[in-house]
Amino acid sequence: MLATMVLAGLLAAAPTAPDEPRPDVPIADFEGPEYGAWKATGEAFGDAPARGTLPGQMTVEGYRGQGLVNSFHGGDDATGELTSPPFRIERTHLNFLIGGGGWIGETCLDLLVDGKVVRSAIGPNREPGGSEKLRWDAWDVKDLQGREATLRVVDRRKGGWGHINVDHIVQTDEPKAPAHASRSIALTHQYLTIPVKTGAPKVRAKILDESGSILREFDVELAPAREKPDFLAASDLEAHKGKTLTVRVDELEDAKILEGIGQDARGLDRPGLYGEPHRPQLHFTSRVGWLNDPNGLVWQDGEYHLFYQHNPFGWGWGNMHWGHAVSPDLVTWTELPIAIYPHQYGDWAFSGSALVDHQNTSGFQKGDRPPLVAAYTSTGRGECIVYSNDRGRTWTEFEGNPVVKHEGRDPRILWYAPGKHWVMVVYDEDAKAKRESLDFYTSPDLKAWTFASRLDGFFECPDLFELAVDGDLNKSLWVVYGADAQYKLGTFDGKTFTPTSGPDKLAFRHGNFYAAQTFSDEPKGRRIQIGWAREVTFPGSPFNQQMALPAELTLRSTKDGPRIIAEPVAELKALRADSCEFSRMTLEPGADNPLSRRSHSLLAFSPLARLQIPIQSKSVNDLGRAEKYDGHSCEIELSFRPGAAKFLELDLLGTPLVYDVERQDVVCKQVRTFVPQVDGVVDLHVFVDRGSIEVFAGGGRTAISVAATQGETDHELGLAAKGGAVRLEKLVVHRLRSAWETRDAR
């Protein structure tokens, strides 16, 4: 028997005086390297307690110590049981921590007496989203004292939330009941501000109106009392000004924490916003909180709309809302209030798409402007429709929701003109059949949808659109892809996609890039794509994650057949503040280049054949407005002939970008991808920003996004040839202004 897996029935409790509280009797804390006398069957529990989060699982928290019971071994489809040896019930209650799936009789902790279940507890989760946090629960077992019992942890469930987490089982006379704290606030301003401390214990908070109805409910890491928060989250409650609201928090032992909740007329707009030390200057980030998948990319009346998965109350994933930002030019963005709120706690607003219903087929239009219509996954209901008649500022839910109910998510809707109907392509899955597919539905009015066909082999966040080959509309092909941006080309008749590009999927995006979507109704007829730069993180900042740069997609002929080409949108050129070009020159290893004697503010050559480009802070003038350049945002256009060189290496503020001549590969951090020479020339178009590097290589045939954090002293770019001379056909370096400053100057 392991010392950390003590069973009450095997130990004699020390006698206590009649008026003294009896000490707790531990049953199991799962801190040992094995289960000891507990017996595991099946695959779900593994052969030892888990040490926290398992592969493929959301972050598990709330357990004690290092170990716990976690039946996610092998994922949600694994099943099994874990049973304790017998013990004697010697106290009035059993306390335990529990989390995971909320399926009665399938994901549960059972107490058995005489072989029969006499108590049972489940986790809190049944719908997509949720939280892996373990919470205290307790059984009253006064009537069972003196009886012999066993505990059984059960996982009989497959599919979503088909697992259970348990820890720290203790016999006690003092049951662990979640502590509650509340505070009443007379609302005189539009926003409640909520202090967030990343890493603090996560609690569930509710904002209640005067009748006790829930206005907002979310998980949040509240900043401890008298500690400076990492940032303030804000909840827009304009409709309730003049009323007294109640903030209630479960499992909060220190009620003084709620004193940090305030109110403000400005919300999140305050001095210093977008000027934080690690804030990207080219890429879109939310003011505070987490972002992931871009949603509902659409243009209407002079505005590009970027909706996105957003946690406004935390630095990490969770509390999925639809954030909202607009831009006149795809470069300078203004963040608007939350567009779509969760239907209720646990029923999150997952990904989807948006469009303009030009012909008002839905009947949603009020006024002269066609409505914006969005489709999104309500995790507790299915695919839902909302609409807006005020340019996306407010949204109304279709009373007939959900319009599609299945096991999938992430609807992408578009108008199929030849058939005069709408198309929804949406991810679907069947855990038992191990099927992942894209399903196609059709509708005349965005309300009633009919299943049409299925395409296997794609995973979540689909997109579907038509592209002309080499600009020839008579040779157009349809493109379909999933979250990983791997795509197939083919034909589409409004109901069925038929691949023509072969059995294997094609790839043009690599690295930190996921769940991309393209704009509907783009005014110039372009196909503009924005993706989530997944895992580009900003520790210590009030915001987390970013979008990739917008890119124009075209379809061009290659020797391998038509392929997608991705190039940065032309609008990004507006950020160029100062440029320097060197062309038609040779970089010799070890040679003293005569250009080192040239005087220029951007470029100088070293005697070691290393082109060094100081880009330290400098004031530049644009239309008479002085702006400070911080040395962390730049653009490089490079075309070169490798010749006899083995490698060409760019030093991008401390991050190497290497072209491997023999393998014809571009290598940057964890990414290696093939970029062939074209007529002996390699093209690289590079953007460097705080937190990331993006490379469009081979004329856009390949695009790379990687996370890259520059240090405070990294203010140089470098270029080195190794193993032989390199002919630089073109080298242009652009200093880039901040998109945020450019926006503010409009």
Q: CA 617, CA 159: separation in Å to the nearest integer? A: 54
Q: CA 493, CA 101: separation in Å to the nearest integer? A: 41
576-611 in b/e form (b: 16+ CB < 10 A) is ebbeeebeebebebeeebeeeeeeeebbbbeeebbb
Residues 6+ apart with CB under 8 A from 375: 352, 353, 354, 383, 384, 385, 403, 411, 412, 413, 424, 446
293 is catalytic: yes
**In terms of C-beta density within 10 A (0-12 exposed, 13-18 middle, 19 or more buried), how is residue 572 classed?**
buried
Q: CA 145, CA 30: separation in Å to the nearest integer? A: 24
Other CB atoms within 10 A of residue 65 CB: 13
3-state class (DSSP) for residue 270: coil
CA dihedral of residues 59, 62, 66, 72 (deg, nearest 10): -50
* CA distances to 327, 522, 573, 574, 679 from 330, in Å: 6, 11, 11, 11, 34
Q: Which of 507, 506, 505, 510 is nearest to 548 (CA)?
A: 510
* CA distances to 8, 139, 259, 654 from 146, in Å: 12, 15, 46, 68
360 touches 447 (CB < 8 A): no
Which helix (H) or strand (E) element contains residue 739? helix 739-745
Q: CA 18, CA 15: separation in Å to the nearest integer? A: 9
DSSP 745: H
Three-state SS for 328-362 is CCCCCCEEEEEEECCCECCECEEEEEEEECCCCCC
DSSP 267: T
Write down the catalytic residue from 76, 110, 293, 578: 293
Q: CA 405, CA 382: separation in Å to the nearest integer? A: 5
The residues assigned a catalytic role are 293
